[in-house]
Amino acid sequence: MIYEQLLDSLNSGEWLTLEVSPAKSAAFEPIIDRLAALGIAEKIHGWTITDNPLAQLRYGSLFAAARLQAAFGKPAIATISMRDRNLIGIQSDLLGCNEADVRAFLAVTGDPARLSDQPNAKGVFEANSTELLKIAQFFNRGIDYAGKAIAPPPKEIFTFAVTNSFAKNPAALKRKIAQKIAAGARGIISQPVFSMEDALALQAIFDKAAEEAGKTDGKSARLIFGVFPLSRLKTAQFLASRVPGVRLSDYWLDALFAANKIGAYEEERVGFEMSSKLFCALRRAKMPAHIMTANRFELASRLIAAV
């Protein structure tokens, strides 16, 4: 039932999810306690959980998803990185998660293993993220990826994917999005957008991709806009110069630069004001949104309250 409610929020445009990044810890409870103290579960439709981002060792996303759902009764979308699993391991994880009612997954290829904090770690990369979407399609037909029956068959699995929020080559971006929609993704979460103009341009590319892909099993996909509230010039400069597929205009950089000269408080105030203005515009336009704050949950709570 919780997944049907999540999809209803997506179809209506009301969708609002929050990214949670587990720590390098054997305990997930402290994160649950922080979220509970903020009462943030009542303000969103669900969570996404990262899977060892930047190849850094963290508490497992699948276990974190189960813990979040049990604690708050809101659906959790567990990220699965193709970097760390082969096709056998992925299918095995999906079978186990199915009985635990963890049935929503965000497919990513994964950051390169050379970034890892674990010496000599090697990436698997047996397939890319689209392969995970296809595996879920097979499972939803009651068969494994080899075409053999699963008994009893799994309960329905819901898959999501990611996309850049900006591209110098829109045709290439459209092609990648279309492939993910055709492979069964119910929603495509973008990297952060920083203007309504870029959000609308991305929506136009997505709409063309969806038309090209057609509908999968009679179910259409939706674009979900990433929102990353900026409060520091340093972070803005990093995103602008080091993160592919994200565009940050001079408007943001100039405003944060001027505020930085005044002081940290002004920098925080200006960044939050600009972020909340964009977030409110997305919400008014009923454009599904996904908040990413690197576990600055207090900031996410303030952003949601600003609407």
Summarize pLDDT for 2-16 with one digit per residue, the tens.
999 999 999 999 999
Residue 182 contacts residue 214 (beta carbons within 8 Å): yes
SS3 of 7-64: the string is HHHHHHCCCEEEEECCCCCCCCHHHHHHHHHHCHHHHCCEEEECCCHHHCCCCCHHHH
- CB-neighbour burial class of residue 97 (10 A; exposed 0-12, middle 13-18, buried 19+): buried
CA 175 to chain centre: 20
- CB-neighbour burial class of residue 124 (10 A; exposed 0-12, middle 13-18, buried 19+): middle
Tokens of 196: 């309504």
Per the structure, the count of domains in the chain is 1
What's the CATH code of the domain at 152? 3.20.20.220
- CB-neighbour burial class of residue 272 (10 A; exposed 0-12, middle 13-18, buried 19+): middle
Residue 190 contacts residue 165 (beta carbons within 8 Å): yes
Mean pLDDT of the chain: 95
Summarize pLDDT for 64-121 with one digit per residue, the tens.
999 999 999 999 999 999 999 999 999 999 999 999 999 999 999 999 999 999 999 9
State the number of CA atoms in the 13 A half-sphere of 77 facing the CB. Answer: 26
Quickly count: other Cβ atoms within 10 Å of residue 281's Cβ.
Answer: 13
Summarize pLDDT for 14-45 with one digit per residue, the tens.
999 999 999 999 999 999 999 999 999 999 99
Q: Which domain holds residue 101?
A: 2-305
Tokens of 80: 């699965």
Query: Beta 104-108 vs 76-81: how paired, if at all?
Result: parallel
Summarize pLDDT for 129-173 with one digit per residue, the tens.
999 999 999 999 999 999 999 999 999 999 999 999 998 899 999
| E strand or H helix that includes residue 71 | helix 61-72
Over 90: is that where the pLDDT of 244 sits?
no
218: confidence class by pLDDT, cuts 50, 70, 90: low
Average pLDDT over residues 200-214: 93
Query: According to the model, what pLDDT value does residue 237 have?
Result: 94
Quickly count: other Cβ atoms within 10 Å of residue 48's Cβ.
Answer: 28
